[in-house]
Amino acid sequence: MLKVPVHQVAGHPASEGQLGPLVDESGCFYKPLQNNERGNTEVAFYMSFSSNPRVPKHIQRFFPKFYGTRLVEASDGSGLHPHLVLEDVISNYVKPSIMDVKIGSRTWYAEASEDYIQKCFEKDKKSSSVSLGFRISGLQVYRSPESGYWKPEKKQIQKFGADDVSLVLRRFVSSYQPTESDRDPDCAFASSIYGGSSGILAQLRELKSWFEDQTILQFYSCSILMFYDKESLLNGGDPRGAVKLVDFAHVVESKGSIDHNFLGGLCSLIKFISEALATVNECTIEACSTD
């Protein structure tokens, strides 16, 4: 049985009269195929990417698995509609904390229509995309069984500047229950989630190494999902911090050039997360020296 995903933090959610994604109990994510060239672009990307010999296996793990396309009943009740069938990357996470980060100071590609370019340019300019090279599109942080999730409204997120981004990246890995007024997050879980040889920061750096060389594709308007299982962490288990790239309706062939737009945004995100982790390490050193 298909149902509306509980943990969607960005994009267009499925609701009455609105087409949106669906999930099933087998771990599949059904993304409605857009009725234009964007839909064809995303299908073509998934069909070719996983079998492309120029893409290393260790890089392919950062992309959702692709299971083809399928006609299923649309979430808006309009009948059968073609959907991409993808891996539901958080299906095995009990209480996932998730952040969707759209990468790049520019989310439009040169061949797009003038109207679309202007629309994207205005949106990029009003957000942190132009100034930071990325913007947070949505997030949720699990707090407790009583309080549920902290999930800022979309309009608030769109206004995030550098200080807000820095603060949210620290709230994302804090042990207490984050709220809008908390200005001094404890970042207690930063080392477990961001740090280490397999943490989110190490994964982002692995992606960065590939983007420094790859000249296959230009990843416009793509997002990086960062997520972990906070309930597992609170119970002393593995948080399974992970990184996945999603949304490929605007990917174009690179024609031999490095994707500096994506690479620049990725480097900026790495810098912000590194600073959050360094702050925690500095506090730990100070505490030890005081003791």
pLDDT of residue 282: 53
pTM, rounded to two decimals: 0.91
Is the pLDDT assigned to residue 47 strictly greater than 50?
yes
| Among candidate residues 207, 173, 168, the one with its CA nearest the CA of residue 188 | 173
Mean pLDDT of the chain: 90
Class (C level, CATH) for 96-290:
alpha beta
SS3 (DSSP) at 70: strand
- Half-sphere exposure in the Cβ direction for 148 (13 Å, CA): 6
Both tokens of 241, joined, read 């911090």
* 73 contacts 2 by C-beta, under 8 angstroms: yes
* 139 contacts 168 by C-beta, under 8 angstroms: yes
* 151 contacts 9 by C-beta, under 8 angstroms: yes
Is the pLDDT assigned to residue 26 strictly greater than 70?
yes
The whole-angstrom distance between residue 258's C-alpha and the CA centroid of its chain comes to 21
Is the pLDDT assigned to residue 249 strictly greater than 60?
yes
Give the number of residues written for the chain. 291
| Helices first, then strands: H and E counts in the chain | 10, 11
Domain range list for the chain: 14-87, 96-290
pLDDT of residue 263: 98
Give the CA radius of gyration of the chain.
Answer: 19
CA 8 – CA 98 distance, rounded (Å): 9
Confidence of residue 218 (pLDDT cuts 50, 70, 90): very high
pLDDT of residue 177: 63
